[in-house]
Structure 1
Amino acid sequence: MQTRRSSLSGVCYLTMGLIVLLLGLVFASMYVYRYFFITQFPQLPRESVFHCGVLYEDSLYSPFKGQLELHEDVKIYIEENYEQINVPVPQFGGSDPADIIHDFQRGLTAYHDIALDKCYVIELNTTIVMPPRNLWELLVNVKKGTYLPQTYIIQEEMIVTEHVSDMEQLGSFIYRLCSGKETYRLKRRTARRRINRREAGNCNHIRHFENTFVVETVICKKL
C-alpha cells in the first residue's frame, strides 16, 4: 500500500513538473516574440496616412520657374491591398485635383477627376505604381529624411474608350469612389514623346506621386 502511494505521489510530482516546464516554455516563447521579433520586424499598421510634399522639375511646363512642388495625401491599406491618393488643387496650372485608387486585388486603377467630376478606370500599371507595403516603406523613409524622391517626372498617356455601366464589377473600393459619377474605361497609348501644349487641348492632366518619381497621367478624349 505504501509503495502504491509513493508511485502515485511520484506521478503527481512528475505531472506538475511537466506542467511547470511547459508554462515556462510558453512564457519564454512569448518573451522572445515580443522583445525580439516585434522589435526587429515591426508589424505594418492596417492603415497609414501620409501627407507628402515632393519637389520636381518640368522644363516643358515650367522652363524658367525651377522646381515645382506637388502635395498629396496618401492612405495605404495593407491588409486590403489598396492605396488611395488625394491630390488637391495644385499651386500651378495644367493639372487637375483628383482622387485615385490603386486596387491591387482586382488589378485596377481609378481616377476621379474632381474638376470634371468624372471617373476613369484602367488596368493597374505595376511597373509604375508601388504595391502598398513598398509604398509604405518608401513614405516612411521619406518622412524620416533617409530618402529623397527623384526630381524628374514621367508621363503616361491614356485614351477614353467606353462608358462603364456595371459599376459593381469594379470592386467595392472603386465603386465607393465612382458611384453616381460618369465613369469611363481608359486605354494606354503606345510609347511616344511627351504631349506638347498644342496637343493638350483635348486632354486633362493629373500629377501624382506613387513611386520614387512624379507621374503625370494624361487622359485624352477619343478623336
Structure 2
Amino acid sequence: MVKITFHAVSAQKPEKENDEDKIIIPQAHEQLVLPVTSKKPFPTVLCCLIFGLVVFLSGLVLASIYVYRYYFIPQIPEDSLFHCRVIYEDSVYAPLRGRHELEENVGIYLDDNYEQISVPVPHFGGSDPADIIHDFQRGLTAYYDIALDKCYITELNTTLVMPPRNLWELLVNVKRGTYLPQTYIVQEEMVVTGRVRSMRQLGPFIHRLCYGKETYRLRRRNQRRRIERRETKKCHSIRHFENTFVVETVICDRV
C-alpha cells in the first residue's frame, strides 16, 4: 500500500521579494521628496554687479560731457571769432562831434545758436564796457555791465539782433572787404523792473555770465517817452554792434 502525502503551499512570497515589489504611497502628513540633481549655480550676483558698473560709468560719461559743454568755455573754430572796428556817426547825442569808432570782440556759436559780444572800455566815453549774450534758443539777451558789476536780462529783440548764421556771414564778408556795414546808430531804452532770484531758467550760457552777480530784469520803455535830462544820472548806456548798424542800449534804474 502506497502512502501519498501532500505539503501545504504558502500563498505568500518570501519577504525579500515582497519588499522589492512594494510601492509606498506617502500619507497626507508626509512630504514627497524627489531626488535633486546637482546643477552649477548661475552667477546672478556677478551679473548685477557688472550691470550696475556699466550704468554708473555711462552716467559718469554723460555728466562729464554736460559739465564740459555748459560750464566750460566751448572751443569754436577760429573763423567764428571776430575782432570788429566800426566807424559810425552819433546823431543822437553828438551830431556835431563827427564820427566815432566802436571796437568789440564777437564769438558766434552756430551749434548752440547764441552769440557772445565783448565790448571793452570805449575811447570816447559815455558808454560802459560790457559782455553781452544773445541766446536765440531761449529768446533772451543778457547785458553784463562791467563798470557796475551787474547783469541785466531782457527778451531778445530779433529786430535789432541778427541770428548767428546771418551775423557770421556778415562779419565774414566785412573781413574779406566785400561788404561794409552802415555807420549809423539806433537807440533802445530799457528800464529795470525787478531782481532775478532764480538763475536756472536763464539757460547755461547766461547763467555762466551772470553767476554770482546782481541780476535784474528789463523791459523796453515806450519810445514816445524820451529820457529827460534829470533822469540821465540814473541811466547808463552800452553801445554794441550786432547788425548793419550800431545799437545803443540805455538802461535806467527807475521809470
Measured against aligned partners, the alpha-carbon deviations of 1:35-76 in whole angstroms (never above 9, x if no partner) come to xxxxxxxxx959710000000001343333311000000000
Distance 1:60 1:198 in 2: 17
Sequence identity (%): 74
Match of 2:53 in 1: none
Measured against aligned partners, the alpha-carbon deviations of 1:151-205 in whole angstroms (never above 9, x if no partner) come to 1100000000010010111000000000000000001112236546553211010
Distance 2:178 2:111 in 1: 26
Say if 2:118 is the partner of 1:86: yes
Match of 2:238 in 1: 206
For residue 143 of structure 1, give the secondary structure of its aligned residue in structure 2.
Answer: helix
> By percentage of residues, which structure has more helix?
1
Match of 1:161 in 2: 193
Unaligned 5+ runs, structure 2:
1-75
Unaligned 5+ runs, structure 1:
1-43
Report 1:171-182 matches (<5 A): 171-182=203-214
For residue 81 of structure 2, give the secondary structure of its aligned residue in structure 1.
Answer: strand
Match of 1:148 in 2: 180
Measured against aligned partners, the alpha-carbon deviations of 1:5-47 in whole angstroms (never above 9, x if no partner) come to xxxxxxxxxxxxxxxxxxxxxxxxxxxxxxxxxxxxxxx9597
Measured against aligned partners, the alpha-carbon deviations of 1:131-167 in whole angstroms (never above 9, x if no partner) come to 0000000000111111111111000000000100101
Q: Under a length normalisation based on structure 2, what TM-score does the superposition of the two structures give?
A: 0.67
Q: Which amino acid aligns with 2:246?
A: V
- Larger-Rg structure: 2
Q: Under a length normalisation based on structure 1, what TM-score does the superposition of the two structures give?
A: 0.77
> By percentage of residues, which structure has more strand?
1
Say if 2:250 is the partner of 1:218: yes
> For the Cα contact (< 8 Å) 1:155–1:194, is it kept in 2?
no
Measured against aligned partners, the alpha-carbon deviations of 1:68-119 in whole angstroms (never above 9, x if no partner) come to 0000000000000000000000001110000000000000000000000000
More displaced stretch, 198-207 vs 181-190: 198-207
Report 1:87-126 matches (<5 A): 87-126=119-158
For residue 80 of structure 2, give the secondary structure of its aligned residue in structure 1.
Answer: strand
Report 1:23-38 matches (<5 A): none
Match of 1:185 in 2: 217
Distance 2:227 2:146 in 1: 22
> For the Cα contact (< 8 Å) 1:205–1:218, is it kept in 2?
yes
Provide the aligned length of Structure 1 versus Structure 2: 180
